[in-house]
Amino acid sequence: MTGIASLIRQGTPSALGVTPGVTEHAEDYAATGGYGDTLSAAELLDRIADAGLRGRGGACYPTAAKLRAVRDAGRRPVVVANGEEGEPGSVKDRWLLRARPHLVLDGLARAAEITGAERGYVYLSDTTAAERVRRALAERAPHLPVEIVHTPHTYVAGEETAVVRRIDGGPALPTAKPPRPYEQGVGGAPTLVTNVETLARIALLAARPDHGYRTARTTLLTLAGGDADPVLAEVPYGHTLRSLARAQGTPEPAGALLGGLFGGLIGPGSLDLVLDPDALAAAGTALGCGAIRFLGPDECPVSLASAALSHLAAESARQCGVCVAGTGAIRDALATLTTGTATPDIAGRLERWSTSLPGRGACGLLDAAAGTAGSLLRSFPHLVRSHLDAPCPACDAAAGSGDRLTVAVPGVARRAVPHQRTSAPCPR
């Protein structure tokens, strides 16, 4: 990935910062309003609620409601900055930890003040991000003790119960719910497990409360696909998906895979949908973690769906028999479509799985697999039928193209000397 772009209005607080190409020092962050005392914890919580800030980890749950639930749970809570991105098409969280660790730590400290937490954790798998966070903690430690917890990088490692399990010394695997972490999490304490971009936006809102609505309605996106380089972009809600494709460099997409692997496939007729969690949910898709992969004009959606299911099946935690069997069955069925060996009943089987499997696993992996199958049927039914007649040349060409889902984190240089001014990369 080479591009870092901003489509937000000038003057709106930016998660990308002033110099996206280098790691920000504590002095530089404080000079832009970071670590300030503009609002009390109670005032900040009210501003978060008024702005309508939602989580950026995938579920888009109202942040103020989550903070209140942890605060009111009855015991001294714990706060966790969740920087483990399981979605292969997302890079925003690792980038934030590498480039703007103080922004994330400031947000974590403010979440601790709101909830009354006595300790915090930064949970991640990226070694470069861990080094930058450790350095930031040495430069300016928050008021509460913060520990960095490493985890192996997997699709399910960032699920909130897997986060708690790993911090408590176990494997990063989901557990049955209830209880949810806000009720009983790390060490049995009520625990706020919050995506690092959510924390970053809490810190931005604290620094500029007069821009709370804009801050809450702006998001980081990982845009990829076609023949163009992926782009990490900061975008306000309201842009169409088609305009984002053009900004990324895929001017005539044949559709898109939204929300990482969670939002499913949409066809070209849906590209005029606007970037907004509610609008996308009403259309049967999801913004999720903000990863959008556009289909090139000559790319086959069946092949992309098959690649997504292969990834999900390989990443299964293998704790739930229904997930292992269901995800594997969908993977195998889609593979027969790409090779022209599918049987005529495949559409019926995919439809049955897409409606019967969601909600039956311990985490969202099975839901993502079933949702991908269902979205392929809804958005591209004619292609599913045509793949029964003959092998697909586009699927055949893609078979040897390697990993098409994983996006690399943009480079962030470690600035050696505080206040050294380095030019930021040109926006795409």
If one compares 319 and 416, the residue with the highest pLDDT of the two is: 319
pLDDT at 416 over 70: no
Total-model pTM = 0.94
Residue 423 has pLDDT above 70, yes or no: no
Q: In percent, how much of the chain has pLDDT > 70?
A: 96
Instruction: Give the model's confidence band at 54: pLDDT under 50 very low, under 70 low, under 90 confident, else very high.
Output: very high
* Domain annotation for the chain: domains and CATH numbers: 11-215 (3.40.50.11540), 218-297 (3.10.20.600), 300-408 (1.20.1440.230)
Q: pLDDT tens-digit profile of 7-23?
A: 887 778 899 998 888 99
pLDDT digits (tens, 9 = 90+) for 334-364: 999 999 999 999 999 999 999 999 999 889 9
pLDDT, mean of residues 256-279: 95
Q: According to the model, what pLDDT value does residue 411 have?
A: 85
Residue 288 has pLDDT above 50, yes or no: yes
pLDDT tens for 370-384 read 999 999 999 999 999
HEC-encoded secondary structure of the chain: CCEEEECCCCCCCCCCCCCCCECCCHHHHHHCCCCCCCCCHHHHHHHHHHHCCECCCCCCCEHHHHHHHHHCCCCCCEEEEECCCCCCCCCHHHHHHHHCHHHHHHHHHHHHHHHCCCEEEEEECCHHHHHHHHHHHHHCCCCCCEEEEECCCCCCCCCHHHHHHHHCCCCCCCCCCCCCCCCCCHHHCCEEEEEHHHHHHHHHHHHCHHHHHHHHCEEEEEEEECCCCCEEEEEECCCEHHHHHHHHCCCCCCEEEECCCCCEEECHHHCCCECCHHHHHHCCCCCCCCEEEEECCCCCHHHHHHHHHHHHHHHCCCCCHHHHHHHHHHHHHHHHHHHCCCCCCHHHHHHHHHHHCCCCCCCCHHHHHHHHHHHHHHHCHHHHHHCCCCCCHHHHHHCCCCCCCCCCCCCCECCCCCCCCCCCCCCC
- How much is the pLDDT for 404? 87
Share of the chain above pLDDT 90, in %: 84
The string of pLDDT tens digits covering residues 381-415 is 999 999 998 889 999 988 877 788 999 999 898 86
